[in-house]
Structure 1
């Protein structure tokens, strides 16, 4: 018996040891797998595989400056070749204490489609802020990307805080269904926002990118080759018909609410003011793309036709109601449903969120209540008039809440903005051509009705730009040359000033534009432009230009300040020293002598006609004054 018990004891002991070994083996296997994954990740990084998905990257030729990572959109379009790029707007990685920094988040409307560069509403806003507060350093950095939605906005928001924004502007909501990772898009991961956001989080790893790229290549083998020729608009759509209140429809609404709420909470924690805009879409002049043909009560076309009839009969409120109903029932979800704007307005309860009601403002500025082609070029993208209106809405919201702590003394009207903004003929023409080309394809299929037999030079330049045969910079240079050669200096000045908006950190563009403003006797604008160049890189050369134009504009006290800078940095400049002395003595001289002194000052800065007029007046009472006679001979 004892022997049997001893044997059993040994077997039990042996069993225990084998279980321990098994556990150790399992733990070791997990550790080895993790080590293998870590090593593979390190190897991929060392080999340079994959992309760094940091939001910003260093500017190559401008130390200390950064801009939006041009590869960032690859993070959201994985599994497709639809990634887009945005603006390359440089700003300092380390924010100056004097800088007021505004970030803007959005999609293609944020980009300014169909216009390039200055058509975007953030450029309209930038110009208004520059002109109203010339002494302030206000930067607006546009982080919009075409064909993205709230997933990208939420992800960007996590990184923004460390770059110390004073304000964040948001205009988004149309792409919840077909934007990258949207519930109806080609790279959808389903209607589970927390899962999608987790997938985005692990996209930072090169191993995940390797797997994702592999899946994408396999999928591409089964895609039609002609897809490459289709518009991005079509390539992004997987589920064309999404009925109102369907499961996919509800998933899109939930996705938007979840992501924007998360974004706002993150910014609210850091007490960053957010200006969140409602969005506008074309109600009146866009037929529903896909209508339910099985039921009249769910037929978008039926409501659209009712709306058109009511509109023609001047029953405008009835027309408005039916236009909106038609939009809501349109199963191709390119236009955001009204519920998106309801969600946006609900966030007004947050401490640091200010709702900018662009939809209501578009309605007020549309004839007879219904938003249409008066402000939009197709279903959701504004025309230049519409973009200026969005910019002005943000401008007035910034003024009303004054989160930037500015002195709003000479606030512009909407008419001021539209009149002064350096929008060129090229901007409007290129945008028109872009829309014409877009509407040839799905879902419009409109015939191109365009006569190219008798085009003006600006039309030819815009056409080449729209076809991507020349760059924006080349187009602007050609347009500038055309205007200058034809002595249309005002138009040339507008082109030159538009370039300064694209290159706000390059002093040479301000100087060139200032020179042209001075050439056409717009001394006030010349001074403003030279001062911007001087702020970027103070030099004696620019100080001289500022001084001359200040004197031409009779701003003598300020001219003395710049003359002192010249004297300090170039003591050999005798003319500037004398000019400073003359300006100081002007206020002390008698009225008669003041005329003589001013005549001499105007002569020194090339204002001969003004100098001669003062001399003639002076010589009437002092006909034998030798100094005056000598100056008159010089003139």
Structure 2
């Protein structure tokens, strides 16, 4: 009897407990349900915005394949008030929405250097590597997509990773680190998130929620002043710098290093879990030709450089070494480096210039500690470290990086960008990451292929003139130029430069340049223009054919075959394209391939077609070449 009562009581207690637990669970769930309903309501009312990293390319009439591109408005995802977002975006590079089974897809991440500033796409890591691969892997479909853009740092790289993984990359190339202090969300940036790293990571996690965007709008309405600082006539560097003095070894300095290492760890963990190989490059910047930014207000560098004297250098070195024991400043180290150079003590001079960068309070260049972080990360995650520093040192006078390879503080010259790409390319080839043998094409010959046009170079020169005429390159003591003139050039190139500065149609400007260079019989420059147009216009067969014809005029049959083959991939039944490719293969002595292409052409033309006789003559010629080659091989075999 007592056992029965006990069971009844136990069941009642159990039921009461379940009821109470259910009540509390419902009570706890109610606010979440309300929030979820509010989120759905806001989305139904089309409140807020979402900026995916990739969007579809606008379709054209003859487009048979769907393409994606990096979203030109993706930077807006980091700003509640989009009018405050800097005018930066990834370059437009189209890639297939559905990845081909046999294609090899590479994504690039980084800041303005990876993006090719100031030249744009064709000076970028993407443009340079793509051009190099046309020679090294001519028969492999390789897509190289750039997500890099100015003023971003490791937070943006981390934010992009999941969306990049969705696009099935076979390899990711990263060159980043210079924007960690003053880039968007950097620890010393005017665009820093309030609340530190955790708050920034939460912001990245919730930024697409409409409820979060509503709260941001309310906060902006209440707490942010109506009058915002104007961006007119300001360089991007002027806009981003908030903390102008980040002392070496300070809390803020260390926060930047921790932020970079922890964010990049999360980036590399994600790629590692997805089984995607990564190549991480160490960083370079101007050592000898960039005075410390933080010293420009207090030191007349023009006067100091004017009075540099080899006869007085030894005494100056002694004086500065004594001074540095008391005052470890960027200015003292930089002056020491200048004097050490004069007496050919180059190794010590380089060390002094590196220390000048490290102690520069205005941190637009990453301190050397970042390269140690990059090395640690590469070891920890067993990824390939690209030694960019080494290739720049090897190609700099006495191993000291200056304006030969770096334009101002950290953006490479055209020659510098070529070397940056070479560092990655050589390691890709060495590691056989494309999974096929590369053709042999020496670096010295490859320089001729650099896709940066004359007008691109002129534009870059003009942009840099403007950049160094503003903060942080100038001060009352170190004044800039009152008037910024366009670089000297020929009339038609100057007109094209002005159009680019005015942001006129890129395509129309390139078409005009293509005509001009052909009229002037400057075929190499014309071929370069046509080649970049072919890369940009992924669904235009005609421009690829024109590029191939121009390379034929240069007797560059390998590059001609690359573009003719590309034209055929877009329009496979064009007999004109088939004949051009057959000629390329014939002159490359790839007779069987030439014969195969001609056979396809023969099947396409009717017996009454004027092209029929031409095709048959070509077939006969190729067959004769095959027989001759076979006979030569037999003779050679007998002699051996």
TM range (shorter): 0.7 to 0.9
Alignment partner of 1:253 is 2:289: no
Cα offsets for 1:448-479 (capped at 9, x unmatched): 56556975225523541453342433332332
Contact 1:76 1:152 in 2 (8 A): no
2:490 counterpart (456, 464, 473): 456
What do you get for the CA RMSD once the two structures are aligned?
A: 3.1
> In the aligned structure 2, how far is the partner of 1:440 from the partner of 1:461?
23
Contact 1:171 1:279 in 2 (8 A): yes
* Equivalent residue, structure 1, for 2:600: 565
Contact 2:548 2:559 in 1 (8 A): yes
Contact 1:425 1:458 in 2 (8 A): no
* Equivalent residue, structure 2, for 1:474: 508
> In the aligned structure 2, how far is the partner of 1:243 from the partner of 1:38?
45
2:377 counterpart (347, 350, 374): 347
> In the aligned structure 2, how far is the partner of 1:577 from the partner of 1:466?
46
Partner of 1:333, secondary structure, is coil
Q: CA deviation at 1:497?
A: 1.6
Normalising by structure 2, what TM-score?
A: 0.82
Alignment partner of 1:373 is 2:370: no
Contact 2:591 2:625 in 1 (8 A): no
> In the aligned structure 1, how far is the partner of 2:215 from the partner of 2:483?
46
> In the aligned structure 1, how far is the partner of 2:608 from the partner of 2:382?
54
Alignment partner of 1:65 is 2:99: no
Alignment partner of 1:513 is 2:542: no
* Equivalent residue, structure 2, for 1:134: 138
2:453 counterpart (416, 419, 424): 424
Alignment partner of 1:298 is 2:333: no
* Equivalent residue, structure 2, for 1:444: 473
Contact 1:51 1:71 in 2 (8 A): no
Change (3 A) 1:302 1:309: same
Any gaps of 5 or more consecutive residues in structure 1? 1-16, 595-635
2:46 counterpart (45, 48, 63): 48
Q: CA deviation at 1:278?
A: 0.3
Please identify, of 465-474 and 401-410, the stretch whose mean Cα deviation from structure 2 is larger. Answer: 465-474
Greater length-normalized contact order (CA 8 Å, ≥ 6 residues apart): 2
Change (3 A) 1:503 1:131: farther
Cα offsets for 1:93-137 (capped at 9, x unmatched): 322111001010011111100112201122111011122211100
Partner of 2:108, secondary structure, is strand
Q: CA deviation at 1:480?
A: 2.1
* Equivalent residue, structure 1, for 2:9: none
Q: CA deviation at 1:430?
A: 0.6
Contact 1:563 1:576 in 2 (8 A): no
Contact 1:126 1:140 in 2 (8 A): yes
Partner of 2:68, secondary structure, is strand
- Map residues 335-414 of structure 1 onto 2, 5 A cutoff: 335-350=365-380, 352-410=382-440, 412-414=441-443
> In the aligned structure 1, how far is the partner of 2:492 from the partner of 2:622?
50
Q: CA deviation at 1:76?
A: 2.7
Please identify, of 250-259 and 398-407, the stretch whose mean Cα deviation from structure 2 is larger. Answer: 398-407
1:531 counterpart (558, 561, 565): 565
Q: CA deviation at 1:88?
A: 2.1
Higher alpha-carbon Rg: 1
* Equivalent residue, structure 2, for 1:201: 205
> In the aligned structure 2, how far is the partner of 1:168 from the partner of 1:386?
21
Q: CA deviation at 1:510?
A: 0.2
> In the aligned structure 2, how far is the partner of 1:42 from the partner of 1:124?
45
Alignment partner of 1:87 is 2:91: yes
Contact 1:507 1:533 in 2 (8 A): yes
> In the aligned structure 2, how far is the partner of 1:194 from the partner of 1:489?
56
* Equivalent residue, structure 2, for 1:601: none
* Equivalent residue, structure 1, for 2:240: 236
Change (3 A) 1:572 1:50: farther
